[in-house]
Structure 1
Amino acid sequence: MKAIKSLRRMAAALAYSLSIACAGVGAAQAAATIVIVNQNAPGEGFNDPTPAAPVGGNPGTTLGEQRLIAFQRAANIWGATLDSTVTIRIGASFVPLSCTANSAVLGSAGAYEIWTDFENAPRANTWYPAALASKLAGEDLTAPEDPHIIARFNSRLGLFPDCLPGSPFYLGLDNNANGQIDLVTVLLHEMAHGLGFQTFTDDETGEQFFGIPSIWDYFLVNNRTNIPWVAMTDAQRRTSAVTWRGLSWNGPNVTAAVPQVLAPRSNLNISGSNAGAATGDYYVGDASFGPALGRTPVSGQLMPVVDQPNGTGLACTPLSLSNAVAVRNNVALVDRGTCDFVTKARNVQAAGAIAMVVVDNVPGDVIGLSGSDPSIRIPAVRITLSDGVAIKAALQQRSRTRSGVVATLGLDPTRLAGTDRYRRILMYTPSINAPGSSVSHYTTEAKPNQLMEPSINADLDHVVKPPRDLTYPLLKDIGW
């Protein structure tokens, strides 16, 4: 029986694992007991005495107390979902983490130990995270003073001018964050990582940890060849980790649940007399604001906004008369940059556009449009820079109100969002490796958004299982 205190893996897992436990807060009494071990010093983090008004069903009267109550809510949700006779301990603290005025590390967490060849292990010579290994062994494999999961969260978030000012964690329990970062949602995500929603194989090099595969690797599959990660060479794993839409989850519980959770894929179709080589279907990222694409498509002439000297269109201010004439009753094509997506949508909507397509301004893969504004009434999607270049080439010859290029935004009923041709959910494998995010998350193309995507979306519920979410089915696949 082997155990590794995997602090190295935790450091590599910034977006991975989080779970909580706090001495003196009380355990979650359910199918599994989760204890939050408070690792903060007096006056800091969970012990911060700063007065706080109760918010969103959180009755705490200090900042530290509200943090603990939010942690306990997330622990209760997972405790009611899991089945284990071994108490799960999560060592947690709020500490200053890296941040700037425009970006911040929310937190980092991971399995404190990983185990192989323990009693009752379903697979020999295979790494399991400590909480799962203990559940399968039927006894606590870790020392009583050690946690199964260790987690750190940003104590400065939104509270200081150099750390996303104005965007603190929302500590309410009602999932009504209103643009803030919902802490309970973040905790559910990170706890899932600590429970096993991650590989211990290096996604940058393809090397297995100490030459031993993770239980994760048996279910991760190259969807072009159907070869599982566990059977690949290091070089093959390294390549597959940066192949967009190249890796799928092949576990029976997730695959069975996919049809009841995921919706048809959103699609942009380009056609028309001037479309030329741009004719065809395009993957898109959905907006978190405005109406969702439905089975009745929205279709119109695609007209670019041009308000910059280099020929791009940012739509960050009310449109000029010429741009307003161009997009009125048409689909507006705008470029990413300078202002938020909601502002762009608001401006083209005010000019009379029936929909908006945003072209990314950096190379990369499909991702959605963030933001919230209930006044937005038009659908909006995002396409990659390379797709935008191809479509813009077809727009060179146009009149003031017509381009001869028709954009149709709708659904592809033959494909579920974020799945391969076998209806297996795709994993997150951006073409440029994202340490701590690549491989150990679901794709950003899933619809509705899933808890275990690499970023937290505003439309998530405090739910971890079908028919809303696919997190728990994956944990069942690996042994929970």
Structure 2
Amino acid sequence: MFISTKQQSTTKHPRCLKNRLINFILTAILVSFSSLTNATTLTVEQIIDASSIFKFDENHSMFTSTAAPDELSTTNGNTESTLGAQRLKAFKYALGIIASELRINQTIDIVFYDSDTNCDYYATASYAYSYQNGKNQIANTLYPSSLANQLLQTDTSNNSADIWIRINPKYLNGSCNKKFNYGLYSNEKNVNAIDFVQLIMHEMTHGMGFEKRPSNDSNPFIYERMLWVKDKQDYYSNLNNDQRTEAQKVVSNIVFNGRITRQQASNILDTSVKLVPQTTQESNIPKIDSNVVTTGALPESGIVGQINIVNFDTCAISGNLGGKIVLLPDGCARKEFGYDGTQYDTIIKAQNQGASAIITSAAETFRVSAFTDITIPVVTMPLSDYKNLQSAIELLPSDTTYSLEKQANKLMGTDESGRPFVHTGLNLGSASILLHWKPSVSPKPVNNRTVRNIMEPNTVNGLEYAQRSIRSTIPALIDMGWAVHSCGNGVVEEFEECDSGNINGTASCAQNCTLPGYCGDGVVNSATEECDDGKNNNDNTVNACSSMCTVNK
């Protein structure tokens, strides 16, 4: 049986327009799972008890600190009497959330490792070992040992580490300009505090599947099996090293093609928006792949107005904006975004002067959240997309009227088939690229509040009470082989295609309560596929078999 080690995955800071580290203000409220199968009915104590399936050193130095408890964490529901005890409770709480949503009946061993580092990232994590060609596995495909243990129903790692994790000691000891918030929920804005619970959930998800093969291995990781490359018209796992490298440089080029993820997208993700010029002049306004992130929702009828473009060099805004839609770079909204310095607060000024909506840029590695002091719609988009949009607008007359409206049948961060994009593009760190959702992949808001996707490229939140959610990531984990918590009870429930009542699966229902087979294996599974030509699947040829195993029309 093949065993390999893997480099760590890294959670890094985003960067702003002038390439300075962003100082974000982080918040989190009590986890809202919004109709997920199990955690909605559990108390904090029950969630923490669920973490017992994970094994780790509870006597690690970060958990034994006798320093006074963190006041912010206490305010946010973690009332333990020492800082170390707060950390331990928050760590268990994060693990318990995962265990409450997935069926995990084989122990997952976590090992902490320490080393000197800088303030450029909060934590790193990785799977420790990978396995292939075992029971319930796709042939010649690498699986993290934590998942392989569930598929084989045995400890493949022989009590060795399944997941390595490092919490940056500089953030633990206060050497950086932010600190961890160990709160279980949040009732107020958290100034310069990193949501520890969300961070741990993010890093654990890397160790449980959101990873790629080691550089010296020819066989793909299970996550790679799920990816479709649009410009190559091929599955990512079929490409050679050079082709994979080139594919990753292109923004909005690689989608997660798992069947459960496709099925659940419309239930989980929010509707996207578009900007439409009200003119007969030929225009080339690019699609807005964005997130409406504000406490003020975009009206169903949309917003109609002219565009006012704010100059980045001056960030000056004056006069009565009279219902205009304001286009401004994020560097002109430093106060709202929590950057270093608060000299620019252009979003607030624009709102006060009558703007009807804001379209703004964001760094390539993250999505900006809602702002509690803003009541008009704020649309954020990656910097590269923002520049393309501005260039197209500048080609039209300045008095052109536009409609900012919801985009029917288009989900945020997805392609035309509703498949979520993974994070790709130029100038992205190796640890960020491919292994996260594109920042615009946005779950539906709950109670008019932004819901943070735990596999966004960065774990920071904005100036609002953002809700943590693993909801948009659970289907992807199921596509890779994990089972939802209810799987095996004999009743078909959310995120399940079948349920035989047998955790080992049957010929007609796999161990994770999905129908057997996957698109691209070259075998037509009549229950879920119209066709399957394997490596010859493509989306461009009429009557050919598509990457989703449907016949192209």
| Same fold per superposition (TM over 0.5) | yes
2:469 alignment partner, one of 451, 459, 463: 463
2:264 alignment partner, one of 257, 266, 273: 257
Closer, same or farther in 2 for the Cα pair 1:349/1:31, shift >3 Å?
closer
Closer, same or farther in 2 for the Cα pair 1:213/1:61, shift >3 Å?
same
Aligned pair 1:92/2:91, yes or no?
no
Structure 1 match to 2:63: 46
Inter-partner Cα distance in structure 1 for 2:154 and 2:188: 39
RMSD: 3.0
Residue identity matched to 1:301: Q
Q: CA deviation at 1:269?
A: 2.2
Structure 2 match to 1:376: 374
Closer, same or farther in 2 for the Cα pair 1:368/1:433, shift >3 Å?
closer
Q: CA deviation at 1:247?
A: 0.9
Inter-partner Cα distance in structure 1 for 2:277 and 2:165: 46
Q: Deviations over 1:274-306 (max 9, x none)?
A: xx5655353153354442334221111112345
Inter-partner Cα distance in structure 1 for 2:186 and 2:204: 17
Structure 2 match to 1:157: 171
Residue identity matched to 1:300: G
Closer, same or farther in 2 for the Cα pair 1:474/1:305, shift >3 Å?
closer
Q: Is the 8 A contact 2:296 2:375 kept in 1?
A: yes
Structure 1 match to 2:197: 184
Inter-partner Cα distance in structure 2 for 1:478 and 1:59: 37
Residue identity matched to 1:244: V
Aligned pair 1:293/2:298, yes or no?
yes
Structure 2 SS opposite 1:37: coil
Inter-partner Cα distance in structure 1 for 2:273 and 2:83: 41
Residue identity matched to 2:184: L
Inter-partner Cα distance in structure 2 for 1:28 and 1:356: 41
Q: CA deviation at 1:27?
A: 10
Inter-partner Cα distance in structure 1 for 2:272 and 2:47: 41
Inter-partner Cα distance in structure 2 for 1:270 and 1:158: 50
Structure 1 match to 2:185: 174
Inter-partner Cα distance in structure 1 for 2:442 and 2:141: 32
Inter-partner Cα distance in structure 2 for 1:413 and 1:438: 29
Inter-partner Cα distance in structure 1 for 2:59 and 2:129: 17
Inter-partner Cα distance in structure 2 for 1:59 and 1:97: 30
Structure 1 match to 2:480: 478
Q: Is the 8 A contact 1:46 1:93 kept in 2?
A: no
Q: Is the 8 A contact 1:269 1:282 kept in 2?
A: no
Structure 1 match to 2:228: 221
Structure 2 match to 1:336: 330
Q: Is the 8 A contact 1:39 1:91 kept in 2?
A: no
Structure 1 match to 2:527: none
Q: CA deviation at 1:408?
A: 2.2
Q: Deviations over 1:203-229 (max 9, x none)?
A: xxxxxx422221122211113554211
Inter-partner Cα distance in structure 1 for 2:358 and 2:371: 15
Q: CA deviation at 1:121?
A: 4.9
Inter-partner Cα distance in structure 2 for 1:260 and 1:324: 42
Inter-partner Cα distance in structure 1 for 2:268 and 2:353: 36
Structure 1 match to 2:149: 134
Q: Deviations over 1:128-187 (max 9, x none)?
A: 11111122222112232x321111112333964x622xx322111125562432111111
Inter-partner Cα distance in structure 1 for 2:208 and 2:466: 20
Q: CA deviation at 1:359?
A: 5.1
Q: Deviations over 1:22-70 (max 9, x none)?
A: xxx9996549811232473xxx422222111533221212211111100
Structure 2 match to 1:115: 131
Aligned length: 422
Inter-partner Cα distance in structure 1 for 2:332 and 2:116: 29
Matches within 5 A, 1:242-281: 242-272=249-279, 278=283, 280-281=285-286
1:81 alignment partner, one of 85, 88, 101: 101
Q: Is the 8 A contact 1:331 1:357 kept in 2?
A: yes
Q: Is the 8 A contact 2:290 2:412 kept in 1?
A: no
Q: CA deviation at 1:116?
A: 2.2
Residue identity matched to 1:182: D
Structure 2 SS opposite 1:348: helix
Structure 2 SS opposite 1:157: helix
Q: Is the 8 A contact 2:11 2:432 kept in 1?
A: yes
Gaps of 5+ in 2: 13-44, 337-344, 444-451, 483-553
Q: CA deviation at 1:248?
A: 1.1
Residue identity matched to 1:77: I
Q: Is the 8 A contact 2:141 2:222 kept in 1?
A: yes
Structure 1 match to 2:31: none
Gaps of 5+ in 1: 17-24, 203-208, 396-402
Inter-partner Cα distance in structure 2 for 1:296 and 1:457: 32
Q: Is the 8 A contact 1:302 1:330 kept in 2?
A: yes
Identity %: 23
Residue identity matched to 1:163: C
Closer, same or farther in 2 for the Cα pair 1:188/1:460, shift >3 Å?
farther
Structure 1 match to 2:10: 14
Closer, same or farther in 2 for the Cα pair 1:181/1:454, shift >3 Å?
same
Closer, same or farther in 2 for the Cα pair 1:433/1:419, shift >3 Å?
same
Inter-partner Cα distance in structure 2 for 1:192 and 1:282: 30
Closer, same or farther in 2 for the Cα pair 1:188/1:26, shift >3 Å?
same
Q: CA deviation at 1:232?
A: 1.8
Q: Is the 8 A contact 2:11 2:123 kept in 1?
A: yes
Structure 2 SS opposite 1:72: helix
Structure 2 match to 1:147: 161
Residue identity matched to 1:51: A
Closer, same or farther in 2 for the Cα pair 1:177/1:220, shift >3 Å?
farther
